[in-house]
Amino acid sequence: MAEYSALSLLKNAFTGNKDWKPAWRKPDPKASYDVIVIGGGGHGLSTAYYLAKEHGITNVAVLEKGWLGSGNVGRNTTAVRSNYLLPSNTRFYEHSMKMWENLSHDLNYNVMFSQRGCLNLAHTPAQFDDYARRGNAMRHLGVDAELMTVAEIKRLVPALDVSGSARFPILGGLMQPRAGSARHDAVAWGYARGADRRGVDIIENCEVTGFLRNGDRITGVSTTRGEIRAKKVALAVAGSTGRVMQLAGIDKMPIESHVLQAFVTESLKPIIDTILTFGMGHFYISQSDKGGLVYGGDLDGYNSYAQRGSLPIVDEVMSEMLALFPGLARVRMLRSWGGVCDMTMDGSPIITTGPLPGMYLNCGWCYGGFKATPASGWCFAWTIAKDEPHDFNAPFTLDRFYRGLVIDDKGQGATPRLH
């Protein structure tokens, strides 16, 4: 497998980069494994990595229906933050943040994590008070949070319209300085390489078409590359969760699948040195290392499994961007794409055993999947290895909706698309 160093980089530069070894193997599936992880995205790969690294379980297969990283891990706006209100979410995402801060060293692979901060803009006195409440809740649990004045925001983002004549005047904001962004592809590649080096089989172009059973117990899967048996089968398939669960005979789940679009512009000189969110709508923006503005907004207003969106959301997102940055009106959009989000009834994830014996479930990430990647894999691996949740994911059960123990950080009620 490929080894990376300054010397190997220099050597390959002189040979036209033709001699690099593969970063991970391309094995054929074996007849059986200790654990099968369905889904070769960030959560599936990180789960396999931590199963091998933390629990010594190396007889693991990751099954991906397409190519590695072709789903949501490569279709997001790369924001990493832990600025939540409710303790269950705050503790979980702060654990993830701490893992992000050491992830490149842990994987020996540069995931390009840049801690440039995340600033939530406030446009009304009530919203600013709400941000103060959230910031105090974060600080109470040891998470960094700072309230910013309009003058401080103007110094940080000079291109932002903070004038009194702005369409939505800015009154202040809530900053989490340790938040940032990472290269989404590098995260997938780093986890894949790390899992492969510990003996995990990563099997691409291997779609699950059914489940093998012994009574009610799941004992393996049927795939386009044959039957594969396993002691434990774990699902981490994001927006495809409902369809895959139907293959196991479970027709109803407390989630909906929605497409979420993202956009990037042509490269510009640096103008935004943070992640910025709009308080009077759903809009967020940052600038990549290559200079493109990376931004997104609300879900398309219908259920979909398509990795593409509709024009009304494009219009809405562009309008919100220009409300904040009128000077960007003539900037050209380079490309757009869509990811399929698995939206739960309360906006918080599900990391749990079941709902069938031998099955383990990781889903319901709404907008928060990418930033949760390290903690999700770490907690899911713990749950699979020990058949019980870790304290970090103990609240994220499947039966919390039946028991009335919802974790509604946004306070939107049981309407998945609003979370």
Ordered DSSP codes for 351-399: EEE-SSTTEEEEE--TT-TTTTHHHHHHHHHHHHHHSS--TTTTT--ST
| Residue 310, pLDDT score | 87
| Residue 60, pLDDT score | 98
The one-character DSSP state at 240 is G
Pairing of the two strands 32-38 and 359-363 = unpaired
Pairing of the two strands 292-303 and 255-267 = antiparallel
- In 3D space, the residue among 188, 255, 201, 244 whose CA is nearest the CA of residue 221 turns out to be 244
| Residue 1, pLDDT score | 56
> What's the mean per-residue pLDDT of the chain?
94
**pTM value > 0.85:** yes
201 near 62, Cβ under 8 Å? yes
Alpha-carbon distances of 62 from 45, 157, 202, rounded to whole Å = 7, 42, 5
Report percent pLDDT > 90 for the chain: 86
123-135 confidence digits (pLDDT tens): 999 999 999 999 9
pLDDT band for position 2 (cuts 50, 70, 90): low
| pLDDT (average), residues 297-311 | 87
- In 3D space, the residue among 340, 320, 207 whose CA is nearest the CA of residue 261 turns out to be 340
Phi, psi of 37 (to 5 degrees): -110, 115
Q: How many CA atoms lie within 13 A of 367 on its CB side?
A: 25
| Residue 301, pLDDT score | 81
| Residue 417, pLDDT score | 83
144-196 confidence digits (pLDDT tens): 999 999 999 999 999 999 999 999 999 999 999 999 999 999 999 999 999 99
| Residue 165, pLDDT score | 93
| pLDDT (average), residues 21-42 | 95
Answer whether residue 104 shows pLDDT above 90.
yes
| Residue 370, pLDDT score | 95
As a whole number of angstroms, the distance between CA 202 and CA 189 comes to 11
Report percent pLDDT > 70 for the chain: 100
Residues forming beta bridges with residue 275, ordered by sequence position: 118
239 near 343, Cβ under 8 Å? no
CA quadruple 303, 304, 307, 310: dihedral sign? negative
Map out the domains of the chain with their CATH numbers: 30-78+184-253+346-418 (3.50.50.60), 115-179+256-344 (3.30.9.10)
327-374 confidence digits (pLDDT tens): 999 999 999 999 999 999 999 999 999 899 999 999 999 988 999 999
| Residue 26, pLDDT score | 95
| Residue 172, pLDDT score | 97
286 near 77, Cβ under 8 Å? yes
36-89 confidence digits (pLDDT tens): 999 999 999 999 999 999 999 999 999 999 999 888 888 899 999 999 999 999
| pLDDT (average), residues 92-98 | 98
Residue bearing the bigger pLDDT, 307 or 62: 62
Tokens encoding 29: 């599936």
